[in-house]
Chains A and B, each alone.
Chain A
Amino acid sequence: MSYYDIDDILADSTKVPCRFNYNIPGLGYLEGNIGQDIKKNAKVELPLWLGRVLAIVGGDSESSGLEDDEALSFIELITPELLAPRVINAIKSGPVSLDVRSINSHFYALAVKWATLFNDRNLVEVLNYMLLERSQEIRNHASSTDLDNLAQGRDPSTFMLTLDEFEKVIYRSSHESCKDMKQWMVQK
């Protein structure tokens, strides 16, 4: 999660649905029609790096017409598809069989960002459970290295195809360490 982290940058460019709380002139290009104004309640897909800032920073209260409504931010983030109740239920029922990659290739990074943004305790619990369950499976896959099979280019099992980027890093490093260890034990 640092400034120069490529995966972090990629995760931040994922689009999330947002709804505008104000009429803003000139911002029509966010919707695709350049030169137009953006209307209140317009639904736009914005990348997370933009949406995250706009959801925190508030507009001036005059344009909204409400004096006491200073806290209202420019946009409102709508729960994206990757954290819909459907997905959460799927995680709860069986984290190992879930195809995380098809939901989003940076699922964990995004979910963590979302949970920090909204202080979502339930989401954190679900993620914790999911990570623990899946890491056991990753560990199993990483440690059972058959050196002969690996040399022939063994076909990866279906579980391997469901890993997201973060899990891939875990898998790769644990796999490497297991493989190196075995090699060291076998050949001097």
Chain B
Amino acid sequence: MNIDIDDILADLDRDTTAVDSSLISQAHNDTTILGSDGDEINKLRQITNVSPVEDFQTLMTHWRNERMSPELLPFPHLLMQRTLRRVQEQIEHIEMLSMGYLDDASGSADTADGRSAALMSKLPLLGMEADLERLKFVLRSFLRCRLAKIDKHSLYLRQFSEEGAAIPLDELLSRQELEYHERHFAILLKLLNNSILRHLPPELQAIDDNDGSVKMVEEPEWSRFVFVFVNGPDPRRQQDPDPRLLVSETTGQQFYPVTIEELQEEAELAIGGIYVMRYNVVRELILENKVQLI
């Protein structure tokens, strides 16, 4: 007779090793996706549960998605705020520590014992500096990638600010990016105007003319193929079952159904699988953080 006591054991585990389990189980956390469909309770819990480790993991996901997606993804405002603050604090922390070493070195440099102690305790400092550089690299690469996309789609992005668009521009871009976008566009427009556009007849002077033989506003390549990894729903949110998640009848595996409109075809994205898909097919799942780009 087998009694399944896994849930009781899990309860005990949670009480005794609370820190570890929170680190492991929150690996796929979408703490800071703005406008995600999480209700109030979820949001509260997400905010209380932030930790540097999972923030970094979320940042990595955002970075990868941004690098591979054809469109500009919404800016993770809260995540970036937290991360930038931490970078600042860490820099100050490292400087404070290294001042401590200075004192140590002047005081007890002569004794061999003190020197080795100073050497030993430099390892954490090295680790901190290397780790800080790593984080800064990811941040820089992320922002540069976004700037490249803003350059490319500046005409397209202007449409967001002009009309009543689906996403307001200040949610899509950060404050600095918004400023970059506006000023860069103004400079570019000035250059074009001064060099050629003023020599053209007035009806040809618009640079966002979509009625001509070729569209001038370049939209993102919505149907570009991307590699996706299906990571499935957040393991912590088992209690509210995902309505989009279906269970296959033949294999018993969980999958997301997606429809490829051009071919009128249904496809199944099994959890844990890697697929090559058109971006517009999986776009919503990416924004909900159910699949990631790789």
Contacts and interface: CB of A to CB of B under 8 A. Distances in A.
Contacts of A49: 213
The residue in B214, B215, B216 that gathers the most chain A C-beta atoms within 10 A of its C-beta is B214
Interface string A1-20: 01110000000000000000
Contacts, number: 10
B218 interface: yes
10 contacts: A2-B218, A3-B214, A3-B215, A3-B216, A3-B217, A3-B218, A4-B218, A49-B213, A52-B213, A53-B213
Contacts of B216: 3
Interface in A1-57: 2-4, 49, 52-53
Contacts of B213: 49, 52-53
Interface string B206-226: 000000011111100000000
Interface in A51-81: 52-53
Interface of B: 213-218
A93 B213 CA distance: 36
Given A2-B218, A3-B215, 8 more contacts: A3-B214, A3-B216, A3-B217, A3-B218, A4-B218, A49-B213, A52-B213, A53-B213
Contacts of B214: 3
A4 to B, nearest CB: 7
Nearest to A2: B218
Nearest to A8: B214
A53 B211 CA distance: 12
Contacts of B215: 3
Nearest to A50: B213
A175 to B, nearest CB: 20
B149 to A, nearest CB: 14
A52 B215 CA distance: 15
Nearest to B219: A2
B280 to A, nearest CB: 17
A19 B58 CA distance: 61
A52 B214 CA distance: 11
Interface in A77-95: none
Nearest to A53: B213
